[in-house]
Structure 1
Amino acid sequence: MIEIYTDGAASGNPGPGGYGVILRSGSHYKELSGGFRMTTNNRMELLAVIEGLNAIKQPGAQVTIYSDSKYVVDSVEKKWVFGWVKKGFKDKKNKDLWIRYLAVHKLHDIKFIWIKGHNDHPENERCDVLAVAASKDRAAQQIDTEFEAEKNRATLL
């Protein structure tokens, strides 16, 4: 059994953003984070889940993901994302990340649990600290290529 706690942040939304992840299994504990120069909160919430799942080395794990993102939790638990696939993600944002999520979710037995954000949940608070710190670390910020390309396409229209 593996527990994954996630959070995402974006200042300005869109703006500089980051994600934070805690993986825990028995006595094993790992933290992950990453930042981007321009992105959205929803993208970082979803990317946190993807990065957490990507960190699991063995397929077939039982995974519980704790997230304060209704966007992510409801999209999966209410099976909306599977309907979006059938419609080719028509008019849906973050298609690139949802496709990445769908590829990795097949590898494990995953359950999502929504937790209220900023409610003194220790792991959620720690993930928030990781996400915000990553969003502010300009030297380590990556480029959210798909988001910036989509934003540029929208500007040209």
Structure 2
Amino acid sequence: MLDIKKVQMYTDGACSGNPGPGGYGTILRYGEFEKKLSGGEAQTTNNRMELMAVIVGLKALNQKCCVDIYSDSKYFIDAIDKGWAKKWKSNGWMRNKKEKALNPDLWEEVLSLLEKHDVTLHWVKGHNGHPENEECDRMAVEQSKKFS
């Protein structure tokens, strides 16, 4: 049996205006190897970009991995750790009887991708000197400016 690869993934999203032009940045690290991924959209929200950073990072993994995901997004971390996203899905993408869950298209993809890996989530305080978070933020802001 092959050893499962241990990967660190750092993510961040940014948006100028909310909604407005946005971007995301992701850093994948496996041993000495590092891959940086980024992109953006002309009209989006910060939360959508936070989720896109996770999606793009997980999609880049071509086999099952043990992934430590570092994010400053409470929206992402709490929705997974507290089971909210799975509950929204089981309730037909409703947060409660009256409110629709936001971004069900991205949450559907996030949940599907998370099932393919052994994932541990780590919340990091944004804009607080965490080197990889700062780099992901820089990449995300750079991408968002392409649409301004």
The TM-score with structure 2 as length reference comes to 0.91
The equivalences for 1:35-114 within 5 A come to 35-59=40-64, 61-90=65-94, 91-114=100-123
Distance, in Å, in 1 between the alignment partners of 2:129 and 2:38 is: 20
* 1:122-141 equivalence runs, <5 A: 122-138=131-147
Equivalent position to 2:24, from 19, 27, 33: 19
Instruction: Classify the secondary structure of the residue corresponding to 1:133.
Output: helix
How far does residue 106 in structure 1 lie from its aligned partner after superposition? 1.1
AA in 2 matched with 1:55:
A
CA distance in 2, matches of 1:33, 1:118: 18
User: C-alpha displacement at 1:71, in angstroms?
Assistant: 0.3
Structure 1 position 111, deviation (Å): 0.9
* CA deviation profile, 1:10-66 (whole Å, cap 9, x unmatched): 10110000000000010110000001000000000011011110011112x100100
Residue identity matched to 1:124? N
Structure 1 unaligned spans of 5+: 142-157
The percentage of counterpart residues that share the same residue type is 54
**Stretches of 4+ aligned residues off by more than 6 angstroms:** none
Q: Name the CA distance, whole Å, in 2 between partners of 1:3 and 1:87.
A: 32
Which residue is 1:147 aligned to? none
Counterpart Cα distance in 2 of 1:125 and 1:131:
10
Which SS does the other structure have where 2:10 is aligned? strand
Report the residue type matching 1:43 in the other structure: R
User: In terms of mean alpha carbon deviation, does 83-92 or 121-130 score higher?
Assistant: 83-92
- TM-score, reference length from structure 1: 0.86
**Alignment RMSD (CA, Å):** 1.0
Query: Which residue identity is paired with 2:71?
Result: S
| Contact 1:37 1:135 survives alignment (8 Å) | yes
